[in-house]
Amino acid sequence: MNDVIVVASGKGGTGKSTVCVCLSVALVNQNKKVLLIDCDCGMRGLDLMLDVEEDILFDCSDAVCGNCKPKEAVYKSKNLDNLYLMAAPFDADNEISPAVFSELVSQLKKSYDYVIIDSPAGVGSGFATAASPADRALIVTNAEPTSLRGAVKIRKKLEEYNISNIRLVINRFSREQFDKLNCYNDLDEVIDVAGARLIALVPFDTRVSAIMQKGVAGLNWSPATTVFDCLARRINGDNIPLAYIGD
């Protein structure tokens, strides 16, 4: 399998890192071995969510610069077997080129069922590097115009990079807020604007935010985790309907 998936959004704060972690946990729970790579250079965050911040000696920039072997920059989650992290550098000083990063990922991916890459917001060079090794992409958007504008930009960029397997994740969805906002007739219109097929509709669920403070250990059952289980199955190729449990 060895699939490499980049998670992107254009606009910041749509929930990319949250989707990366929750999807990875769901894949691990389905007996997959997952490497998460934090490519948000200078804004590292996944180490906190995986409770490994104290362990990190080397990051992906060290691995590409030869300061360590690639495997030495991979850290196992304390809470879940089969979940591994390569952290982003703390500072954004050392820009990693797409070619060098692709080479690193092509070496690492042999040892995992999935490599999930968290990308920085925007369509700049950091995103180009994050997307460079990807076989497929998830665009994370919220159902509002500013976020969708970012989703369209990022989809076009991904298409430029010849990534054709692109799916949409609508995150932090609340029917009540969506109706109040009254920007779109229905979710079909949101999907049409984004121009990518929907693979998951994740409800607004504050329990998901617990992973920010408590790490994956704090991720108990919630409506959103059920949706991530369904997303993981769909990523695995199971032909199952979209799950949505929310308001």
Ligand X SMILES: Nc1ncnc2c1ncn2[C@@H]1O[C@H](COP(=O)(O)OP(=O)(O)OP(=O)(O)O)[C@@H](O)[C@H]1O
2: which 2 tokens? 């060895």
For ligand X, the closer CB: 70 or 190: 190
- For the sheet with 114-118, list strands across it: 75-76, 83-86, 34-38, 114-118, 3-8, 136-141, 165-173, 197-203
State the amino acid at position 228 in one-letter form. F
172 counts as binding ligand X under rule CB under 6 A:
yes
Per-residue mark of binding to ligand X, 76-115 (x: CB under 6 A): ----------------------------------------
From the CB of 168, what's the least distance to Mg ion, in Å? 18
Element (H or E) spanning 172, and its range?
Answer: strand 165-173
User: Residue count at the site for ligand X (CB under 6 A)?
Assistant: 20
Label residues 111-134 b or e (16+ Cβ within 10 Å = b): ebbbbbbbbbbbbeebbbbbbbbb
Binding at 114: pick from ligand X, Mg ion, none (beta carbon under 5-8 Å per type): none
226 counts as binding ligand X under rule CB under 6 A:
no
170 counts as binding ligand X under rule CB under 6 A:
no
24 counts as binding ligand X under rule CB under 6 A:
no
Query: In angstroms, how far is CA 45 from the centroid of its own chain?
Result: 12
Binding site for ligand X (CB under 6 A): 9, 12-18, 40, 121, 171-172, 202, 204-206, 208-209, 212, 224
